[in-house]
Amino acid sequence: MKFLLLTVLLCAWVLVAKCKVDEKTKRARADENAFDRILRLNGVDNNKDAYSLKIPKEMFEGDIVMTNKLRAQIGEMRVRSGQGMAGYDAIRGGTWPGGVVPYRYASGFAYGGAVQQAIAEYNAKTCIRFKPYTAALARTAGGYVTFMHGGGCYSMIGRQRSRQQISLGRGCGTKGVAIHEMMHALGFYHEQSRRDRDSYITINWNSINRRMWYNFQLYRVGQADTLGVGYDKSSIMHYGNYAFSINRQKTIVSKSNPNERLGQRRGLSSKDVTQLRKYYKCSGGGKVTTTKKTGCNKIDNYPFCRDLKSYCGRPWVRANCKKACNICPTPRTTTTRRPSNCRDNNRNCAGWAKYGYCRSNGYTQKNCKKACKLC
């Protein structure tokens, strides 16, 4: 009897302990930025007591596919000052002509929704266009991207001039992760690798496995370019505070505010957008979306409105208790297109487009950009 009682108590204790750990893990993962999630899914879980060296050897900085070209660049990033790091910035990898990136889904790919959310954000804020694959479009672009389920979340840097893959493996199907990996494919490294980073953040080397120090290298001038945009601690390309930590201590700390959370997973930051637009010379095209202010003042006309929150579905309550019901008119959004060279150079373009020549004829694609909707 005593043995049975002890067994029940032990099981109850284990269950409670497990629940506490699970709840703590849930809270920690709720605070993840895009790169935190990527590292965890690629084999580095900062919520575990021990560091797990599961990142494939062919990966650089946790989620960048190593290529011979990239390996040659990294070979130049060697011993400098006491920490063995050279001085690089954070971007240069080959733009896509005209900012057009042909893409397709591998067989069985299940995260199309996340990819489309990411594409919508690029469309709304830049002139970059991810367009469904056609052989002709791939020839014009000099390559294309295939979204697939690999063993984690990863991408290549910039256009590879052939087929290249963006992996959104199990758990990687979120808008933030998709935007992050797509931005690698557009030519961007991680933000904290900029040569000016030490003016904004502190790297705690003692909390990083020496074998992983290369993931915190700086990028030398000539291999990368910050395009005159200031350091961005809220970039979707920034490491999280605990990236590659071996002891649950922060590996990266903001100098202006030690408690500041680095990076995020919502989408492109304003400086991400600025760099993308500069890198792809978007000033002559693309869409700019603005929202008109409606002058909405949420007020309650009666002091008892706070007691009517459960009746906000009724017209009188909605009209007189805007504050309590948290009601504001939907902002009116207008979209204007900046002037560009989007035009047809042949009077027959509309007809050719109608009969499908935009998909197969090089002359039509080159001279009928407006009719073929290529701009």
Q: What pairs with residue 211 in β-bridges?
A: none
Question: How far apart are the C-alpha atoms of 82 and 187, rounded to whole Å?
Answer: 30
292 DSSP 8-state letter: -
Distance CA(34)–CA(204), nearest Å, equals 21
**Which of helix, strand or coil describes residue 363?**
helix
Structure tokens at 365: 């694609």
- Pairing state between β 100-105 and 144-148: parallel
Give the whole-angstrom CA distance, residue 271 versus residue 234.
Answer: 9
Place of tokens 């199309």: 112
Q: Check: CB of residue 284 under 8 Å from CB of residue 126.
A: no
Per DSSP, the three-state class of 45 is: coil
CA atoms 119, 123, 128, 133: torsion sign:
positive
List the one residue out of 321, 291, 289, 292 whose CA is nearest residue 123: 289
Query: 């945009």: which residue's tokens?
Result: 229
Burial environment of residue 47 by CB neighbours within 10 A (0 to 12, 13 to 18, 19 or more): middle
Q: Dig out the tokens for 162 from the structure.
A: 């052939």
Helices 112-125 and 270-279 meet at what angle, rounded to 10? 70
- The catalytic residue positions are 181
CA 231 to chain centre: 17
- What's the rounded Cα separation, in Å, for the pair 72 and 57? 15
Residues sharing a CB contact under 8 Å with residue 33, sequence separation 6 or more, in sequence order: 176, 236, 238, 240, 261, 262, 263, 264, 265
The values of phi and psi at residue 41, to 5°, are: -70, -25
CA–CA separation, 32 and 53 (whole Å): 20
Kindly tell me the sign of the dihedral angle through the C-alpha atoms of 117, 120, 124, 129: positive
